[in-house]
């Protein structure tokens, strides 16, 4: 009934995955170690830094604060899925153009959180709203200003395209 | 760090969860949103033998108005409460507090019941529940019981919950025309635990304010009601209320006791203004 290993079946970036995982394995460690999806980064491992941000059933979550065992039956999308599908292509371009990444460690989480905001916003979010939505993602190169610039530019670009 | 090994099981019903807790006692922990629990496991501040995942229990995440009360299921996610029209209309204090809880990714997972059960002294929801004079529904091996918020928060991360019990719902009085609420907090980064925070409710009457309930967080082992300041505010004197603030915070990593006391006064002025304004 209760086990140290748990069988899970889920979808990761559109592909069916079945696996037996240690009960104590977090989602982000499962993605990185078992599926070699190393785009999601492991920073603080206690929910503060946001580098491990991934989408589970359409909502962003901390990959370090959810167990892989809890993801049975879910649809997980990582930064690899978001970039391969082209969903965040404009964000990636804007980050590059505006120097919104330096070392790049926080970038996968930043992109996932930014895309979550833009996807949900009915109008162009203010800079304050962008900052608030990204408040859970640390950039230790402290390039926040450029990151907000990039997200704002994409929000405006997408609004024009609509 | 990585958690120490533990076993994992899913409880499908409330009865199953309570039975498992009764069997494993202190060796087991309930896993709801996990936004505090998994962090403490990762840091090995906690090392239970068994996690009982209660996320699959049905009918524990509802938000409903029941007569003069608003009932929030223990498994309601913060994001669900944050975006609930029912909460915005009938429990405006909770709606005000929601955006301050963690960050969007945390609010997508964290649960209302989990936050109350964990009882972090710097957390928003225990203070809201205290300010509103709410009530907590508890299920255990000996059946169900209710505990008032005033009697629930006992000490640092310590509540009236017994080891084999779990929260099933919380209830707060639904707002009416006379209800006034206020909320403010100061944190180093938006979404971080507060340096000092204040949740408040009152009822407007012909003389001004009555039934003033101030609940500070981040200034003690539990959310704290400064009763002298409440009385002063009820008589309409904000300066006297700030002067009367009966709080005794300790120094912590965020600020000294002196700074916290000063900030508590700043927040009281802000919140008093909100309490005195009619609801828009």
**Total domain count for chain A?**
2
- Interface check for A135 against chain B (CB to CB < 8 A): the answer is yes
CATH number of the domain bearing residue A48: 3.10.20.30
Query: What pLDDT is attached to residue B279?
Result: 61
Chain B residues with CB under 8 Å of a chain A CB are 1-9, 31, 34-35, 38-43, 50-51, 53, 55, 79, 99, 102-106, 108-109, 189-191
A122 and A149 inside one domain: yes
Q: Give me the count of residues in chain A.
A: 162
A126 and A91 inside one domain: yes
- Map out the domains of chain B as residue ranges: 7-53, 63-173, 179-276
Query: Residues of chain A with pLDDT > 70: what percent?
Result: 98
Where chain B has pLDDT below 70, the residues are: 279-280
Best of A66, A79, A117, A125 to mutate (most B CBs within 10 Å, chain B): A66
- Interface check for A122 against chain B (CB to CB < 8 A): the answer is no
The residue from A46, A63, A82 where one domain ends is: A82
Q: Does the CA dihedral B10-B14-B19-B21 come out positive or negative?
A: positive
Nearest residue, CB atoms, B103 vs list A4, A23, A136: A136
Between CA B29 and CA B48 the distance in angstroms is 6
Between CA B271 and CA B200 the distance in angstroms is 7
Nearest residue, CB atoms, B38 vs list A65, A132, A133: A65
Nearest residue, CB atoms, A46 vs list B7, B42, B51: B42
Return the exposure string of A98-109: e unless at least 16 CB atoms fall within 10 Å of the residue's CB, then b.
bebbeeebbbbb
Phi, psi of B92 (to 5 degrees): -60, -30
Is the model's pLDDT at A162 over the cut of 80? no
Q: H-helix or E-strand containing B164?
A: none
A41 and A102 inside one domain: no
Alpha helices by DSSP H, listed for chain B, are 14-24, 37-42, 78-82, 85-90, 92-97, 104-107, 112-118, 124-132, 149-152, 227-234, 238-244, 257-276
The residue from A48, A82, A116 where one domain ends is: A82
Q: Give me the count of residues in chain B.
A: 280
The domain of A17 spans 5-82
A127 and A113 inside one domain: yes
Between CA B43 and CA B3 the distance in angstroms is 7
Is the model's pLDDT at A41 over the cut of 70? yes
Query: What pLDDT is attached to residue B163?
Result: 87
Structure tokens at B158: 């310590």
Residues 6+ apart with CB under 8 A from A153: A94, A98
Nearest residue, CB atoms, B5 vs list A4, A131, A137: A4
A125 and A151 inside one domain: yes
Indicate the SS3 state at residue B1. Answer: coil
Radius of gyration of chain A (CA): 16
CATH number of the domain bearing residue A131: 1.10.150.120
**CATH code of the domain occupying B63-173:** 3.30.465.10
CA dist A124 to A96, A131, B90, B111, B123, Å? 21, 13, 29, 29, 31
Q: Which chain B residue has its CA at the smallest distance from A70's CA? A: B53
Between CA A103 and CA B116 the distance in angstroms is 39
Question: Which residues from B are below 8 Å from A70, CB to CB?
Answer: 31, 34, 53, 55
Is the model's pLDDT at A1 over the cut of 70? no
A112: closest CA of chain B, how far (Å): 10
Indicate the SS3 state at residue B109. Answer: coil
Query: What pLDDT is attached to residue B280?
Result: 56
Query: What pLDDT is attached to residue A161?
Result: 83
Q: How many CB pairs under 8 A join A and B?
A: 101
CA dist A109 to A48, A50, B49, B105, Å? 12, 6, 32, 11
User: Average pLDDT, stretch A110-126?
Assistant: 96
Record the pTM.
0.95
Pick the closest to residue B111 from B160, B62, B47, B173 (CA basis): B62
A78 and A90 inside one domain: no
Between CA B136 and CA B161 the distance in angstroms is 10
Between CA A13 and CA B49 the distance in angstroms is 33
A60 and A40 inside one domain: yes
- Interface check for A148 against chain B (CB to CB < 8 A): the answer is no
Is the model's pLDDT at A21 over the cut of 70? yes
Question: What is the value of ipTM here, to two decimals?
Answer: 0.95
Alpha helices by DSSP H, listed for A2-161, are 27-29, 79-84, 89-97, 107-120, 127-133, 144-161
Q: CA-CA-CA-CA torsion for A133, A134, A135, A141, nearest 10 degrees? A: -170
Nearest residue, CB atoms, A23 vs list B1, B7, B105: B7
A29: closest CA of chain B, how far (Å): 10
Q: Which chain B residue has its CA at the smallest distance from A132's CA? A: B190
B179-276: which CATH architecture? 2-Layer Sandwich (3.30)
pLDDT in tens, A60-109: 999 999 999 999 999 999 999 999 999 999 999 999 999 999 999 999 99
Query: What pLDDT is attached to residue B26?
Result: 87
A90 and A140 inside one domain: yes
CA dist B114 to B32, B44, B170, B181, B232, Å? 6, 19, 11, 24, 34
User: Average pLDDT, stretch A11-26?
Assistant: 98
User: Average pLDDT, stretch A46-70?
Assistant: 97
A74 and A95 inside one domain: no
B7-53: which CATH architecture? 2-Layer Sandwich (3.30)
A68 and A103 inside one domain: no
Indicate the SS3 state at residue B253. Answer: coil
B21: closest CA of chain A, how far (Å): 13
């Amino acid at each position: 009934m209760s086990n140290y290993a748990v069988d899970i079946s889920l979808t990761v970036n559109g592909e069916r995955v079945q696996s037996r995982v240690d009960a104590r394995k977090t989602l982000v460690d499962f993605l990185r170690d078992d599926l070699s999806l190393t785009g999601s980064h492991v920073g603080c491992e206690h929910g503060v830094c946001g580098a491990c941000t991934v989408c589970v059933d359409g909502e962003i979550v901390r990959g370090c604060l959810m167990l892989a065992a809890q993801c049975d039956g879910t649809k997980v999308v990582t930064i690899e899925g978001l970039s391969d599908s082209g969903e965040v292509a404009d964000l990636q371009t804007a980050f590059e153009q505006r120097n919104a990444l330096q070392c790049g460690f926080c970038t996968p989480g930043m992109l996932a959180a930014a895309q979550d905001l833009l996807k949900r916003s009915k109008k162009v979010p203010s800079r304050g709203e962008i900052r608030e939505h990204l408040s859970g993602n640390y950039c230790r190169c402290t390039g926040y200003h450029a990151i907000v610039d990039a997200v704002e530019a994409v929000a405006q670009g997408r609004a024009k395209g609509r | 760090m990585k958690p120490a090994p533990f076993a994992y099981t899913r409880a499908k019903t409330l009865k199953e969860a309570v039975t498992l807790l009764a069997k494993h006692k202190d060796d087991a922990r309930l896993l709801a949103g996990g936004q505090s629990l998994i962090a403490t496991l990762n840091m090995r501040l906690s090392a239970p033998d068994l996690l009982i995942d209660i996320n699959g229990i049905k009918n524990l995440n509802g938000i409903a108005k029941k007569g003069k009360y608003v009932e929030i299921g223990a498994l309601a996610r913060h994001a669900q409460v944050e975006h609930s029209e029912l909460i915005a209309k009938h429990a405006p204090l909770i709606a005000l507090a929601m955006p301050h809880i963690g960050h969007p990714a945390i609010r997508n997972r964290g649960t209302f019941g989990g936050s109350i059960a964990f009882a972090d002294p710097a957390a928003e929801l225990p203070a809201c529940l205290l300010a509103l004079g709410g009530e907590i529904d508890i299920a255990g091996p000996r059946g169900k019981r209710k505990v008032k918020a005033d009697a629930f928060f006992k000490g640092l991360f310590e509540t009236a919950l017994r080891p084999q019990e779990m929260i099933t719902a919380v209830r707060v009085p639904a707002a009416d025309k006379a209800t006034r609420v206020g909320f403010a907090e100061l944190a180093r980064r938006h979404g971080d635990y507060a340096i000092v925070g204040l949740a408040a409710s009152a009822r407007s009457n012909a003389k001004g304010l009555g039934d003033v309930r101030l609940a500070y967080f981040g200034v003690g082992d539990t959310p704290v009601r400064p009763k002298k300041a409440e009385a002063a505010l009820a008589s309409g004197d904000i300066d006297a209320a700030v002067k009367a603030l009966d709080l005794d915070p300790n120094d912590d990593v965020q600020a000294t006791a002196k700074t916290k006391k000063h900030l508590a006064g700043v927040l009281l002025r802000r919140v008093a203004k909100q309490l005195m304004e009619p609801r828009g």
